[in-house]
Amino acid sequence: MDLSVTIAGVKFPTCFMNASGALCVTREELITLGRSRAGAIVTKSMTLEPRVGNPEPRYYGFTGGSINSMGLPNLGYRAYAEMIPELTRFGKPVIASIAGLCEDDFLTMARAINQARPDLIEVNLSCPNIPGKPQIAYDPVDSERLLKRVRPLITVPMGVKLPPYFDPAHHAVMAEVIRRCGVDYLNLINSVGNGLVVDPKHETPVIKPKGGFGGLGGSLIKPVALANVRAFWKLLEGRIPIIGTGGVVQGVDAFEHVLCGASAVQVGTALVEEGVAVFERLERELTAELAMRGKQSLEECRGKLKEL
């Protein structure tokens, strides 16, 4: 069974990879991903300076999903720039995720990380868990200006990670921005922001930052993720590859993302809860799903969702 995929001219040995933020902050975590069955190594979304992130507890897993308000803990872009050459030796693509706290931060990091030569650079316009910082991707004018400033600085394939959109008009506006900015692939979606999970026993939220508000992940956000994948796949006529992120817990979840138009998928909550062994399990399960349908590759299924 062929689970390999090609995104923006880059070959991935398998369609499964970590979502940025899930077990990918430290050198040790990134090397563990390199040694695992993951089809790529995706760095934590890096900022200009190192960050310790929000106060703990800041992650909580529960039946059906997770909530987090991590606050972008990371080593800073200089540390990741130094690591990238080492990570490329694992024979799988390295995706460097950059997340500036202001527009100029993105430009500084884009120049430096591009020189380190990862296989792809992902511009994260959807960081929902920084107190006082709005998500750039909810402003199409700001998003377009930033992407047009960053694009000339990046010579490897450039992707954009977007938050969930909940209205077809927003899908349409952002699809036009993506068309105009030379984006090579999309990552859909980041966590669904501003959720609140309550611990009824202690009568408190389950996480500390922002009064308990955080980004939701896991199975419960899969319908939102699938809707965004499908909307952008149709609006962009399947011409820009999409990495589906959100609710990939079993192999069938990945199959659904592919049906909606995704080329590959990223795993967040399930990776945090299960560790890197999750990749091998998901491969087995997706292989079984495809075999049951008489399919030999993901390409046979991509975007083939049958509408009623």
What is the tens place of the pLDDT at every residue in 251-304?
Answer: 999 999 999 999 999 999 999 999 999 999 999 999 999 999 999 999 999 999
Amino acid at 250: Q
Query: Residue 242: how many CB atoms within 10 A of its CB?
Result: 28
Q: Tell whether the torsion through CA atoms of 240, 143, 73 and 28 is positive or negative.
A: positive
Percent of the chain exceeding pLDDT 70 equals: 98
Q: In a 3-state reduction of DSSP, which class is residue 197?
A: coil
Q: Is 9 annotated as a binding residue?
A: no
Would you put residue 76 in left (φ > 0), alpha (ψ -120 to 50) or beta? left
Span 146-184, pLDDT tens digits: 999 999 999 999 999 999 999 999 999 999 999 999 999
Question: Packing angle between helix 251-260 and helix 222-235, nearest 10 degrees?
Answer: 30
Cβ neighbourhood burial of 115 (10 Å; 0-12, 13-18, 19+):
exposed
Q: Is 189 annotated as a binding residue?
A: yes
Is there a contact between 185 and 157 (Cβ–Cβ < 8 Å)?
A: yes
Query: Residue 179: how many CB atoms within 10 A of its CB?
Result: 13
Residue environment code for 13-28, b if the CB has 16+ CB neighbours within 10 A, otherwise e = ebbbbbbbbbbbbeee
Please report which confidence band the pLDDT of residue 127 belongs to, taking 50, 70 and 90 as the band edges.
Answer: confident
Q: Is 218 annotated as a binding residue?
A: yes
Please report which confidence band the pLDDT of residue 33 belongs to, taking 50, 70 and 90 as the band edges.
Answer: very high
Cis, peptide link before residue 113, omega less than 30° from 0: no
For residue 236, pLDDT over 80 is answered with: yes
Instruction: Give the model's pLDDT for residue 134.
Output: 75
Block residue for tokens 């979304």 = 45
The residue from 15, 24, 102, 127 that is catalytic is 127
Q: Is 261 annotated as a binding residue?
A: no
Span 46-66, pLDDT tens digits: 999 999 999 999 999 999 999
Q: Is 6 annotated as a binding residue?
A: no
Would you call 127 a catalytic residue per the annotation?
yes
Q: Is 68 annotated as a binding residue?
A: yes
Mean of pLDDT values over 176-199? 97
Q: Is 54 annotated as a binding residue?
A: no
Q: Is 70 annotated as a binding residue?
A: yes
Distance, CA of 220 to chain centre: 16
Report the alpha-carbon distance of residue 271 to residue 67 in Å, rounded: 14
Provide the token pair at 249: 């817990």
Q: What is the CATH number of domain 5-53+72-191+219-300?
A: 3.20.20.70
Q: In a 3-state reduction of DSSP, which class is residue 168?
A: helix
Question: Packing angle between helix 251-260 and helix 277-292, nearest 10 degrees?
Answer: 60
* DSSP H or E segment with residue 291: helix 277-292
Report the alpha-carbon distance of residue 276 to residue 270 in Å, rounded: 9
* DSSP H or E segment with residue 104: helix 103-116
Q: What is the pTM of this model?
A: 0.97
Residue environment code for 255-283, b if the CB has 16+ CB neighbours within 10 A, otherwise e = bbbbbbbbbbbbbbbbbbeeebebbeebb
Question: Which residues are 102's β-sheet partners?
Answer: none
Report the alpha-carbon distance of residue 97 to residue 187 in Å, rounded: 11
Across 175-258, where does the E strand assignment appear? 185-188, 192-196, 198-199, 204-205, 213-217, 242-245
Cβ neighbourhood burial of 90 (10 Å; 0-12, 13-18, 19+):
middle
Question: Which residues are 267's β-sheet partners?
Answer: 18
Please report which confidence band the pLDDT of residue 131 belongs to, taking 50, 70 and 90 as the band edges.
Answer: low
Instruction: Give the model's pLDDT for residue 35.
Output: 98
Q: Report how far apart, in Å, the C-alpha atoms of 154 and of each of 65, 75, 89, 118, 150 are.
A: 35, 21, 21, 11, 7
